[in-house]
Chains A and B, each alone.
Chain A
Amino acid sequence: MFNGFEPEPGFEELWQRHVTAVIALDRAWTQFVKLGDKIDAQGGGSSHKLWPKFLEAEKAYEQAVRKSFSTLDGYTYAVAHKDDKIGVPEDEIRAVVIDSLSDKLDELEFTVNNGLLGSKVAQAIRKDTSEESAGDPPYCQDCE
């Protein structure tokens, strides 16, 4: 099963969860079909003594299908978003923005206070932020 497929490096565990779910799905399907065939062979229907087990097997199969798809979704989503930046919490951004604006607004007037202005700015850029380094800030000899 899935011979020749190499999961994305670093995401092997997520892929393995999907493989396990597919194996469980295969077992659930086999069990479901086996019970159905048995009931059919004996000319039975809902009155057959194995009927409750057959219904249970059907539920187990449906559950296994869902798990199989959800683990595949989990793997593909994680791989598709592996390079996404992890945004910085908005509170942290807001605090810095408020400080920065408070120092430099001078006499300019805004219709909202600094706190709200800081929040709006933080909301506007949150998705673009990360905790990566922008490098060392340069200082001239006099300011060092």
Chain B
Amino acid sequence: MARKSLADLYPHKEALDEFVAVSLVKYEMAEEVYDAQDDETRTAINAIMGVLSTYATGNMTIKGESIKVPDTALQQNLLYLAVEVVKDLALLGIRVANFEFPKLCVTCGVEVG
């Protein structure tokens, strides 16, 4: 009789692990932008995070199934989304508070001299 592998027991584990790993990378990119802002801009970013938190279910969809996301990864994603919204607005000429682009490439996040 064939034994069940870990992947059979947790079919979404790999996708979830990848999501968590990507969340950390996104968080590090977002944190760098967040830290470069003044208090007023951070407050606005926090307000966006607040809205996203209110409506986030805390789950993600993997292969059609709704899976609980670790809270840390969720918060990391929400900060990333909030910062990206502010960045995208700035790219289109709408400035949120005193937002300033940090010295990071807006496309790939590499430090720009």
Contact = CB atoms under 8 A, between A and B. Distances in A.
A107 B54 CA distance: 17
Given A108-B56, A112-B55, A99 B88 contact: yes
A134 to B, nearest CB: 4
Given A111-B57, A134-B100, A138-B101, A124 B48 contact: yes
B99 to A, nearest CB: 5
B25 interface: no
Contacts of A135: 100-101
B50 A124 contact: yes
B20 interface: no
Among B47, B85, B100, chain A packs the most CB atoms within 10 A around the CB of: B85
A93 interface: yes
A55 interface: no
Contacts of A109: 56-61, 66
Given A97-B89, A108-B56, A134-B90, A139 B106 contact: yes
B24 interface: no
Contacts of B84: 100, 104
Nearest to A99: B88
Interface residues of A, number: 37
Contacts of B101: 134-138
A110 B94 contact: no
A108 B77 contact: yes
B7 to A, nearest CB: 19
Interface in A69-117: 88, 92-93, 96-97, 99-101, 104-112, 117
Interface in B56-73: 56-62, 66, 69
Contacts of A130: 94-95
B43 to A, nearest CB: 8
Interface of B: 19, 40, 43-44, 47-48, 50-52, 54-62, 66, 69, 74, 77, 80-81, 84-85, 88-97, 99-108, 110, 112
Interface of A: 88, 92-93, 96-97, 99-101, 104-112, 117, 120-121, 124-125, 128-140, 142-143
18 contacts: A101-B85, A109-B56, A109-B60, A109-B66, A111-B56, A111-B57, A120-B51, A120-B55, A121-B48, A124-B47, A125-B48, A128-B47, A128-B96, A129-B95, A131-B95, A139-B112, A142-B108, A142-B110
